[in-house]
């Protein structure tokens, strides 16, 4: 799987935040942030990645089932 990219910045500039997301960041935190916020963001990013992986597997599985069905007489 992918490792979530978390950007922590002391600059609360919206342009910097958008640049971080455009560059592929999953989470943008403005310092100072508390440890619980960081934990929550990391947990949510990992859950999101896992949900995407499961969805892709399901879609791939459905495609395979549909492909096999078209071969049946």
Position 64 scores a pLDDT of 58
Question: What does DSSP assign to residue 8?
Answer: E
C-beta neighbour count of 47 within 10 angstroms: 11
- The answer to pTM > 0.75 is no
pLDDT along the chain (73 residues), means of 10: 82 90 91 90 83 73 60 56
Position 69 scores a pLDDT of 55
């Amino acid at each position: 799987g992918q490792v979530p990219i978390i950007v922590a910045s002391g600059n609360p500039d919206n342009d910097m935040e958008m640049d971080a997301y455009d560059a592929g960041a999953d989470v943008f935190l403005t310092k100072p942030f508390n440890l619980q916020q960081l934990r929550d963001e990391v947990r949510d990013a990992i859950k999101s990645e896992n949900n995407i992986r499961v969805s892709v597997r399901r879609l791939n599985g459905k495609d395979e089932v549909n492909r096999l069905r078209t071969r049946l007489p």
